[in-house]
Chain A
């Protein structure tokens, strides 16, 4: 059988300025700026696009004078990239942009970000927010396996140090960090200190996917999609995020993403040991530990030790979240920071990272989501056409 993504390449990408606040920016302005930049990066005109997937796509098509084009509004990151890939693979489109941005939605410094506050009737009265929901998962792993705050802090210090070295990161220059720095930051939702958590910011991004027959004309090395799949468990921030929720399926919620990973390994014919760089989603430090276990990089309960010996740092076997992720690079809202995981994976495989470039990287595993949100999306990228 022909590989489902054989005829698709990641052709271009662009991040706008990312910052805690961007004066004068709107989601609409950031999306259009990102689209212009990504098309330039791919060496095509914006009018060469015949599909748009993501946030603000109707406004973008209007602002660019595009049309007729395929427009797909989407509220999930990797699934947006996958939808764009399917549009190209099916022959419906030849050049599709995936775009997203966030601006002007974080203006209340007394409260957590609006999308982190669950409105569900069974949860709203208990003061939960994303950090607390994810803490309920992390706590259970600590109970069952003895995972320690120092192990969590080591993850956060690694990722924040990566971000501090990235010239475009919101927290560029704010580092390096050691684990004790994380443990010394104020407690937010035990076991998460402030620096175990993602931050919030503003910014836009876009990614262009094209038919593989354009690969030879691209300014940069074409990047291929070797596999992609998702695990979702229904309404998040409504039902109790118990580690063993849905365990009867064989895939407990604590290991959400495992079933998707099995699909990705099957699609690609690869396994964890083939991965050169792990662009994992990092809403909270613990989620990196959890994903290494869920995807089969290490045994259940072994993730805490796995991250402790330099494995996930620069020069390690599995460098993680090399731009600083949502902790340090950017976290602009609903899906921009999710698409940015795929973009960073593609940059690693092109070899164009300005910081923390993994030498000779050929396979990158990019992920979105996490256990507290009851979903995990995966996309495996490679330099070879599948």
Chain B
């Protein structure tokens, strides 16, 4: 069965928002970043203006260790557009710092994906501005 690989050639390119600038600077530098609240400590993602837990405007950017577990996933066989070769496996990753992000799983075959499996981030550059994080079994 096909081992899942990053799909990056010719895919739609993210347009960075002002709020997410530090996130994209981080991925370019090989760091996964998230926001944490200096008031209550809650981890927040995606990039926003106030803490989802306490509404304080005291969010600070921090570096994630880039490890977590697979919370949920799907294996796509009918691509969103032809730019995405199938199969690919979008997933919700629950990071150890206590936040969730959408990414895609690579480096394993679809049948081996399991809920709760440990994964670690890796980075793949689309171009000079955008580098995307993917997750591989740890």
Contacts and interface: CB of A to CB of B under 8 A. Distances in A.
Interface string A140-175: 100100000000000000000000000000000000
Interface string B24-64: 10000000000000000000011000000100000000000
A72 interface: no
A238 B46 contact: yes
Contact of B15 (A121, A129, A131, A186): A121
Contact of A124 (B12, B20, B88): B12
A136 B100 contact: no
A123 to B, nearest CB: 5
Contact of B11 (A111, A127, A238): A127
B46 A122 contact: yes
Contacts of B73: 136, 139
Contacts of A186: 77-78
Interface in A239-256: 239-243, 245, 248
A35 interface: no
Nearest to A130: B80
Interface stretch (A13-21, A58-66, A187-195, A224-232): A187-195
A188 B77 contact: yes
B75 interface: yes
A38 to B, nearest CB: 36
Most chain-A Cβ atoms within 10 A of its Cβ — which of B17, B71, B74, B132? B74
Given A127-B84, A240-B100, A248-B53, A140 B11 contact: no
Given A139-B74, A140-B71, A127 B79 contact: yes
B99 to A, nearest CB: 9
A328 B73 CA distance: 27
Given A127-B84, A127-B90, A239-B46, A122 B76 contact: no
Given A125-B11, A240-B101, A136 B72 contact: yes
Given A117-B12, A128-B80, 12 more contacts: A110-B81, A112-B81, A122-B14, A122-B23, A124-B12, A125-B11, A127-B84, A132-B80, A187-B75, A189-B76, A194-B78, A241-B92
27 contacts: A119-B12, A119-B15, A121-B14, A121-B17, A122-B14, A122-B20, A125-B130, A125-B132, A126-B104, A126-B132, A127-B79, A127-B90, A127-B104, A128-B102, A129-B80, A136-B91, A139-B74, A143-B72, A143-B115, A187-B77, A188-B78, A190-B75, A191-B74, A240-B92, A240-B100, A242-B92, A243-B72
The 4 A-B pairs of least Cβ separation, nearest first, read A135-B74, A121-B14, A127-B84, A240-B100
